[in-house]
Structure 1
Amino acid sequence: MIKKIKDTFKKIYWRTKFLMFESLNKDWKVVAYTIFPFARKKNFRINLLINKGIIKHKKNEDFIEYKDLRFYCGKHVPIADFMGIFLSNNKYIYNNFINNSAFRLEGPYEEGGVKLKIGDIVIDAGSNLGFFAILAGEKIGTNGKVFAFEPVKKTSEILNKNISYNNLLNIKVIENALGDKESELNFAINEDILGCSSNVLREGKNKIEKVKQITLDNFVEDNDLEKIDFIKADIEGMERNLIKGAEKTIKRFKPNLSICIYHLPDDPEVIEKLILDYVPEYNIKKTKQKIFAWV
């Protein structure tokens, strides 16, 4: 009961702040959607993108189309992730959704000096359905490589389907979790929202799936990789463990880092300290959702 009351007041705070400081320059439909949850229509954001001609999606289809790309999504279209990764440069989307404290969308994985470049070797930890992997695969060209880590079986099947359909031969799916040691984990699987699957066992009737965890240091050594240029991580609170298991890799290659820091309350401080302990010369930029590091 106390938690519900706190959550309610939290929502009231964000919506009041939005109304007072942010709503003037935003689309009135988005303002109404933000402030009045009871008036929200299902798939509002998807329908908005369809009406603006940004994506194509039919009601009974399990995929969306964007430009010449197609993304299979299963039951639930993670439209917020898609918007943050692909549409951050769209002024309308940025102003109304990404720059909107009520939504707190993640935004892009490139910020400051953290940029994808031709020929990069990329680690995508928590690849999910492959939005970032496919964006990276297009940007780095045929001489680059994306290693897309996705340990959840059903999610990795859709990920492989997306990679195959979009004909990107420079992406390889690795069906392991990344952490601080070699072990086997029990993952709680959210079959409705696949990207929320985690090794944190929450209350409820979660399906449990055993997955193999490896370290990035061992992966780099086992595959004789001569460089790592970019590490992206969104792994539901396991980011700090990934970094601990990538100490040698980070110290040796000093890759660009784009790491989510919103899953655990002390993520911003803990993850920044880990990064700077390994490579003190890293430049750091933090947003509400991510930390970016580059040399």
Structure 2
Amino acid sequence: MSVKARVRDAISRNPLMHGWFVAVCARFTMRLFNLQTYLSIGDLRAKFRAALWRKFMEMAGQLGTEKIVISNNRAVFYYPDGCAFNVSAAKASISGTQFSYGGYEAEETRLMASVVAAGSTVIDVGANFGWHAIHLSRRVGDSGKVLAFEPIPATYAELTENVALNACNNLKSFSFALGNEARTISMYLPGTDMGAGAASQFLDTGDRVEVSMLRLDDVLDREGVEHVDFIKADIEGGELNFLRGTERLINRCHPVIFVEIVDIHCHRFGYVPQDLIQLLTGHGYHGNYIDENGALVDIDVTRPQNGNYLFRPA
């Protein structure tokens, strides 16, 4: 029996004390009720949970979602555009950004939709939990195709769950890395919040995972894919090696390329941003930096800005 219950029982068994207690409580009912909730650990926890739920409901109305379904310790966010995504409870999962923003990389999503046409064949390198791959799957439609690559096993599991949730029959996922040679490599997954978004081959911390790496040119030959219209690559510094492993495709198809370039990531792989820019301009591409508003601006080749770039055949 709790302390609160014992006190209440003792008062109830003493007629004089009970009469006095009732008289006092009648006058200060709400104050005593509020005090009681702070004297009980169980009540305190219940108040805290209720406060969290109220805050969540308040935030949910500002997230731009159509609905949020919570069951079995899982949440699924449904969006007005028809896409839906699981939110993982794992600390490292980047899908948790949906709790904060009700989406993921909105400007990038809009830009990709503007340059990808229905019927296109699309490559998503570093697909993570599938946000862009699934939106691109909807964009290209039944006559198009999306190939999504994600090497980290736990993140790949998120990707495949979201593909199934959205019934993306035109999307095929692959659980290996892409680079400029075929071999096994070590990748590291930081244990920080949203660390899956920073998983990379060259890090000095994190859980080590052995994964296979292949060249995209070889994968496309194996899959019988002859033409590609659009490539998105965001692999924390591995972009240059990836592009070197897809030069046959670039020369043959000249796909539009959306790529992240960050100097620190480049340095870990032994190159500078200008090397990647020069590789693509050498193949006849014109590039633009994508600013924070999603606008395309000219590249400052002497001091390239960190962020996302769009390269199109000149």
TM-score w.r.t. the length of structure 2 is 0.65
Matched position secondary structure for 1:134: helix
Distance 1:269 1:202, change over 3 A: same
Matched position secondary structure for 1:110: helix
- Which whole-Å CA distance do the structure 1 matches of 2:218 and 2:144 have between them? 21
C-alpha RMSD of matched pairs (Å): 2.7
The CA deviation string for residues 161-195 of structure 1, in whole angstroms up to 9 with x for no partner, is 10101111011011110101111111112355322
1:70 aligned residue: 84
- Which whole-Å CA distance do the structure 1 matches of 2:183 and 2:129 have between them? 24
The CA deviation string for residues 246-272 of structure 1, in whole angstroms up to 9 with x for no partner, is 111111100010001123366542211
Query: Bigger radius of gyration, 1 or 2?
Result: 2
2:199 aligned residue: 197
Offset at 1:126?
0.2
Matched, 1:61 2:43: no
Query: Structure 1 counterpart of 2:161, which letter?
Result: K
Matched position secondary structure for 2:119: coil
Aligned with residue 310 of structure 2, among 289, 292, 295: 292
- Which whole-Å CA distance do the structure 2 matches of 1:182 and 1:241 have between them? 12
1:17 aligned residue: none
Matched position secondary structure for 1:181: coil
Alignment check: 8 A CA contact 1:149 1:177 kept: yes
Unpaired segments ≥5 residues, structure 2: 1-51, 291-305
1:273 aligned residue: 278
Query: Structure 2 counterpart of 1:294, which letter?
Result: R
- Which whole-Å CA distance do the structure 1 matches of 2:220 and 2:138 have between them? 23
Matches within 5 A, 1:174-189: 174-189=174-189
TM-score w.r.t. the length of structure 1 is 0.69
Matches within 5 A, 1:1-295: 50-52=60-62, 54-55=64-65, 56-57=67-68, 61-67=74-80, 68-75=82-89, 76=93, 77-79=96-98, 83-85=103-105, 87-88=106-107, 107-108=108-109, 110=111, 115-190=115-190, 192-193=193-194, 194-203=196-205, 206-262=206-262, 263-264=265-266, 268-277=273-282, 279-280=283-284, 282-287=285-290, 288-295=306-313
Offset at 1:208?
1.2
- Which whole-Å CA distance do the structure 2 matches of 1:251 and 1:132 have between them? 25
Query: Structure 2 counterpart of 1:199, which letter?
Result: Q
Alignment check: 8 A CA contact 1:116 1:140 kept: yes
Offset at 1:78?
2.8
Query: Structure 1 counterpart of 2:203, which letter?
Result: L
The CA deviation string for residues 125-163 of structure 1, in whole angstroms up to 9 with x for no partner, is 000000000110000011111100011111111111101
- Which whole-Å CA distance do the structure 1 matches of 2:272 and 2:136 have between them? 25
Distance 1:157 1:273, change over 3 A: same
More relative contact order, 1 or 2 (CA 8 Å, 6+ apart): 1
Query: Structure 2 counterpart of 1:54, which letter?
Result: G
Distance 1:180 1:69, change over 3 A: same
- Which whole-Å CA distance do the structure 2 matches of 1:181 and 1:72 have between them? 33
- Aligned-residue sequence identity (percent) comes to 26
Unpaired segments ≥5 residues, structure 1: 1-41, 89-106
The CA deviation string for residues 45-77 of structure 1, in whole angstroms up to 9 with x for no partner, is x98862325124478534322223221131241
Matched position secondary structure for 2:275: helix
Matched position secondary structure for 1:78: helix
- Which whole-Å CA distance do the structure 2 matches of 1:276 and 1:202 have between them? 32
- Which whole-Å CA distance do the structure 2 matches of 1:126 and 1:201 have between them? 17
Alignment check: 8 A CA contact 2:83 2:135 kept: no
The CA deviation string for residues 86-142 of structure 1, in whole angstroms up to 9 with x for no partner, is x33xxxxxxxxxxxxxxxxxx44736x971111111110000000000110000011
Query: Structure 1 counterpart of 2:64, which letter?
Result: I
Q: Which shows bigger deviation, 172-181 or 221-230?
A: 221-230
